[in-house]
Structure 1
């Protein structure tokens, strides 16, 4: 009940206004039923109360005015929670403020009395009959200490269900101010709370062992009049009814929970196949798996939970005798949730080694002493080799026939990706991995090489420690957490050039961005060629989660990587001779191809030739061909001509050197048509170089005498 003595500004004659107020109040109470009927023509007298829908005068039962007893003239709207005396009711009807416009409210009350007739009031001993009948349900709202705050009664009259709150402490039919949440003792003890609509839904989940609560009045609860503070620090999950008012309530309540300091807030999305107004109580009654829905159901995250810093006492560590999780790759080379960085210099064979290694892991087969506990599901994200050449490579890897079947389904690779692992790149990669493996996530994710997909944010490139840390924490970890938090990661990276002594002292310092990498990875692994004249490599390990592993000497024999035990001179000599023979073969093949192509009327720049003959005649990938062409140009076997117009060839605007030519090369070009037959003859034209590559500086220099072919190769003086 409002106290106008304190709230109103003092009028010019406060004594007269106060006397007038009391006189008008007495007259209003004397004519109360008629006054209310004049104010609300659609209202009805039921028992000891006058009922109307709202202050706008719509038909209904939500707003009630007591007609007798000490509460005569007091009103309460069960839908909005508003109430007061008769002056407050008249002010609400006319949109006035009883504080600043009370004189107008009194004047309106006087005019209202002129239209209302005097009726006898019921005798003091008569008790009004409750028009709603007996309550059909009752819910107690108790404080965290168990003391009773309020009760909510449900009635089911013919006009539909209605709820009436009873303020225990004020002993009035009204909601407490502020309104408490339901089930406060359980909420006080819980870390995770489910917020639903209405006490019926809360009780249904409580009986399932869930710490559930609701705001008083459910979806109609006034958010600003509810005390949300008990949810401070809690993880709140809101389960709305499947209708528009339910979702509106959920969004409004979510904002209130965030403002109250909830640790996290999310709204469950009701299943699309459920009927309208479906709620938590319906779910329990129909046998729906509520626990699974609360854990795995689709949700809209309003506020994410902050990461929790794990801590362990010495006693807990000493007493924990649970088994250590099995290695993904033993012995401790890669542990669940671990990160392995595999580095090496260019052309040392990293990708070839990695492909064989991953395929063996997918097959469940041991590889150079590294053993998986079972066939692993492997996703190989690679950004170096195009599809057709990846296909060629995997066919050269020899796997045990009995394990090939497992590897065929467990190993999944991408063709050469041309993307960056930023937010947009992750949005492509994550769904591809999930789709590739379905319900069983991958055990191992390999990225080869990270240089081609690197995203360091605004910090810089992969040589910058800050940029590398950003890539690892914000990109690589985001990928792993989205796919499988326990998956092992393998990142392929290049090494910088170090002197022999620094490399021997700390080889892993050669990794680009080594400061951040070494502080982040669980395992480092390097493939190193100590002698460029030999094919034997060293496999070097640095383990965080296990004992040190000895350095292995490895090499590839007939397409199979093996550990080299006998590194005697004869073995190395055989491999050196084999490599020399392969280099001579490629030398001869490239020169012959340039010569033969010219005879067919085709000439190439170095880039055009590498792209056109990649993977053909055993020349290898595009990069390998370009490197071999560069060596042959340095040795003088390949020179260049830049006068393309003299041979009827299109100019090369983007080529640094021009068209390639070899000694004695003849280009077939079209001659003038025969005047008698009209046929176009093909005439041979000798091609002479205009420039050569300086073997000392690599610069392009003009040829002094194009008819004399000079070589710079010591083997061909």
Structure 2
């Protein structure tokens, strides 16, 4: 954090008058691009805006700052709903208060501009005093040789405790980069180190002659900005505060410490019945025998020696294999089942039927739960009233409903990402839903809650997918019940029948990481557009995969389709010309999808010219007319934010570039990125209007919404 009130080594700054402050802000506004590039190295310029993930400076596109015009410097975070002007953003980036620390913020901007130490108050201006008052605590950070690197000051204010770090080398009130660990001279000679949250807790253990340390800022410390190398070859015990933030931080830190080369890493479990935020300092104050507690406390192994089993160990082990949650080996304890399918194939309806049977302990399409299972269905797609309709349409008996009432808990559509804050909210909701730990946790769909971490990539990127699985999904399971089974619902790319026959599961977005990680997969595919049947494919890691099935929904129940191809009454083939229109629709949508992956996007006119008389689409005018129809029906929308994809403006088009659902664009040298529509054609008026929610696609010739 960069601020400039060094009470030990610098002269007291003088009060700035408003004229000087406004001059500093004006100069910054003239150089916003350079200033934000310095303030947020992970941000990017997109057209006339500067974009990043959040006020902390993470990669992403949630936060936007205007760079030009009368709105220059104004910002808004679409995920958190926060916003403000230039001063509030600088304040948030430096963990300051935009009103109380206004003088400090302006000095920060002035120093970046290279202005001399400004002292422009009126002739009667008095020296400024620290508005936080006298510090109530001070902790020194040394390197392994005892050289002072940084200090942390604590202030107890009416608004609560606040901390100010001091970088000795830079001679500024900011956290060093990288941030050092506390108590390094003692760590250097110790074999075992206890990591706690905050200097007060660390010092409490140090006073008990226990080697303890903390990262600067405790649980709020970014693990990637801390130098963990002093813990290399050490046995590390992590003692988290007794709250969700502490547990989550412990997991993040544990993995990073393991990667830094610690010989073992354990997370300690705070005792039952202790108050929230209970920590090591509280334990010492209660006169707990801390040494004895550290030896006997329940702990979770994050890293120890790699488990090695001899052939003889495995051969002689006669212990029973845990019962399948859903047999045969479709979902095992601690396993992960991914259910995939293209848009409109009916994944959510299929899943709801499956979960209802699992929660009631009933078989479903030759799959059988081991018992009535407690299931938490975290779904982020269907709104409450439509979810209610789906539930009430399930063909259930009274005795089945009795079992399901308490066993199957679900959410209506959530607007939440499974980032660190989302994990805490989700874990709390799941724990509150059941008196015991759940058997199964379901996430539907992955895309709506996907967090790719620092890469800020889409779920099509294998590294981003692996980050989400390991750092988000697995963390959620560990926070709730490590042995719970996971079911994830995910979309597939559109694929041909030949691709389906060769390897259907390769169609999953992020398939490289998903297939190497999950224990089982199920895939729904609609072989004929006008037919009601679906194909159900299996892929199992822990056993032989069941044969694929041709299934159909009849009277509200999913069952195997008749072998003789008999159709349900009222669901006959449409007329030949209807089938041809559907074929052309699928061809056009598929071409737009596939071409975008190759880095090619089109306006309506460009597409009509490019694919005239190809793939049975007919003449240019015919194609152009069909695009109009598909836009009216919602299959095609448009995007006009061409700058975000480094595209030229869509000339000769009042609509913009064409966009279809689940479309990804291959940018040169930057991999794939999701393309979201900005405008759509109103089915009633024909007008081109701004899109309110780019995640929702409404097809006006069908009776559902995605």
TM superposition score normalised by structure 2 = 0.45
TM-score (norm 1): 0.44
Q: Which has the higher contact order (CA 8 A, sep 6+)?
A: 2
